[in-house]
Amino acid sequence: MTRKYFGTDGIRGRTNQPPMTAEIAMKVGQAAGAYFLRGSHRHRVLIGKDTRLSGYMVESALTAGFTSVGMDVVLVGPMPTPAVAMLTRSMRADLGVMVSASHNPFADNGIKLFGPDGYKLSDEAEAEIERMIDGAPPLAPSEGIGRARRIDDAQGRYIHAAKSSFPEHLRLDGLRVVIDCANGAAYKVAPTALWELGAELIQLGVDPNGVNINDKVGSTAPQALQAKVVETRADIGIALDGDADRLIVVDDLGQIVDGDQLMALIATAAARDGRLNGNAVVATIMSNLGLERLLGEKGITLHRTPVGDRYVVEAMRQGGFNIGGEQSGHIVLADHATTGDGLVAALQVMAELVASGQPAHRLLRQFDPLPQLLKNVRFTGGAPLDGDTVKATIAAAEAELGGTGRLVIRKSGTEPLIRVMAEGEDQALVADVVDRICDAVRKAG
């Protein structure tokens, strides 16, 4: 189904250009507000944002839209995406909104919607809201216009919830932690939570100015974190992204640890303690085959989904599983959150680090990843994957990888790109098959 506004994770784009204009944001508020006007109670929406300059504009436009259809607005200011999801549910709001473009540069922004249960909306709900955006909104009568107010204790509520996920019998005393908040939404709450648990902190990316979010800091630019961990001889480094639903860890030697290794650690610890629902983990098709093999050796099943944390969450809910995530660092821990939560996931990793007494470089190397290579090929139109030559090249590559590797080829949901990923035990073969497929796609497109 072709979408005009919504993509794979809400609405996103460059600010002051469609679909990320004040006018469209107001219409989104009207449409989403009208969609959730159910029952006779006083309706409420909770709005959070990251630290982008454009957040003021989008927040104000959404507020105008929601209040115009009769919905009260609660503004919580800069807060992580998982905090907005948590507060939406705990405050019994009718919906929640996060204004953020996640790991994108400051010039972009986005709108993510959460239902009253704290989960992202279904495709069907987004499609209906999208239809309503271009329609005539049912404006409230003059006496029924909504009110807006800010609350001051939202950060404290989320910090308490995040700390509650950390084992009560443990503390972070003596642990030297470098925390990089990407100059984003968690710049206050993440350092505060870690400090209150006893960690010795070195902070990066905690001075947002509206235009420096994700700028050479955060989970998508971990070089500064790596250097600081080595420089300060820290025990571990934690990098969040702009809205703090993703994390990347750096060990005590300055080496990057991706989401697959983190899922392996968290899941095996949960299985050990009898806390792994269904004895299974949910991950996407991009997670390394090494993760699947490690879990299999421990009797844990890996369920794979399409790329996107919403698909991971859907599979977790359907199967009753409590641990899932993505290689990119979106870790979903259903016992504590309804969406990816970088801080909560980091706390589970640090709990294991403290309890084990091992250095991070040893504890976090749960498996040896198989060589994996991903390349993107831009195409100008048509359907290059449907060509006979491309199909034959893919079939030949699959035969060569045999049972010792995997091939994942998919069309990007946001750009005219074909993503080609291969992994296997033979690194040279992996590189060769990816290059051959990319070349065939390039010629076909």
Over the stretch 301-336, which tens digit does the pLDDT of each residue have?
999 999 888 899 999 999 999 999 999 999 999 999
Judged by average pLDDT, the poorest of 4-8, 241-245, 361-365 is 4-8
pLDDT tens digits, residue range 166-195? 999 999 999 999 999 999 999 999 999 999
Q: Is the pLDDT of residue 362 over 80?
A: yes
Residue extent(s) of CATH 3.40.120.10 domains in the chain: 6-152, 157-256, 259-341+358-363
- Neighbour tally for 313: CB within 10 Å: 23
Q: Using the Cα atoms of residue 146, residue 149, residue 151 and residue 155 in order, give the sign of their dihedral.
A: positive
pLDDT at 413: 67
Confidence at residue 412, expressed as pLDDT on a 0 to 100 scale: 79
Distance between CA atoms of residues 257 and 261, nearest Å = 6
- The CB-based long-range contact list for 39-43 (8 Å cut-off, 24+ gap) reads 42/72, 43/70, 43/71, 43/72, 43/94, 43/146
Is 204 in contact with 179 (CB distance < 8 Å)?
Answer: yes
Cα–Cα distance between 31 and 12 in angstroms, integer? 17
Percent of the chain with pLDDT over 90: 91
User: Range with the lowest mean pLDDT among 175-189, 249-263, 345-359, 388-402?
Assistant: 388-402
**CATH level 2 (architecture), domain 6-152:** 3-Layer(aba) Sandwich (3.40)
**Token pair 């099943």 in the structure block, residue:** 301
pLDDT in tens, 73-92: 999 999 999 999 999 999 99
- Please state, as a whole number, how many other Cβ atoms lie within 10 Å of the Cβ of residue 52: 31
Residue carrying structure tokens 């998982």:
82
The pLDDT value recorded for residue 414 is 64
Residues β-bridged to residue 114? 96, 120
Percent of the chain residues past pLDDT 70, beyond the cut: 99
Measured CA distances, 213 to 184, 192, 257 (Å)? 5, 19, 22
Residue in 54, 68, 100, 102 annotated catalytic: 102
- Amino acid identity, position 260: D
Q: What is the per-residue pLDDT for 146?
A: 98
Instruction: Quote the CA–CA distance of 336 and 89 in Å, as a whole number.
Output: 12
> Cα–Cα distances in Å, from 296 out to 345, 349, 364?
22, 21, 18
**Neighbouring-strand partners of residue 22:** none
Among 3.40.250.10, 3.90.550.10, 1.10.10.10, 3.40.120.10, what is the CATH number of 259-341+358-363? Answer: 3.40.120.10
How far apart CA 357 and CA 339 sit, in angstroms, is: 30
Residues of the chain with CATH 3.30.310.50: 372-444
pLDDT digits (tens, 9 = 90+) for 204-239: 999 999 999 999 999 999 999 999 999 999 999 999
Q: What is the 3-state secondary structure (H, E, C) of 347-371?
A: HHHHHHHHHHCCCHHHHCCCCCCCC
- Asked if residue 246 lies in contact with residue 330, where contact means CB atoms within 8 angstroms, the answer is yes
- Annotation says 102 is catalytic: yes
Cα 407 to Cα 172, 270, 437: the distances in Å are: 41, 30, 10
Q: What is the mean pLDDT of residues 40-53?
A: 96
User: Mapping DSSP to helix (H, G, I), strand (E, B) and coil, where does residue 128 land?
Assistant: helix
Q: What pLDDT shows up at residue 2?
A: 66
Query: 262 with 289: CB under 8 angstroms?
Result: no
Residues 6 or more apart from 223 whose CB is under 8 A from it? 216
- Place domain 157-256 in its CATH homologous superfamily: Alpha-D-Glucose-1,6-Bisphosphate, subunit A, domain 3 (3.40.120.10)
Are 29 and 63 a contacting pair, CB within 8 Å? yes
What are the Cα distances from residue 62, in Å, to 21, 112, 401?
11, 12, 50
C-alpha to C-alpha distance for 244 and 249, rounded to whole angstroms: 13
> Does domain 372-444 correspond to CATH entry 3.10.28.10?
no
Confidence of residue 381 (pLDDT cuts 50, 70, 90): confident
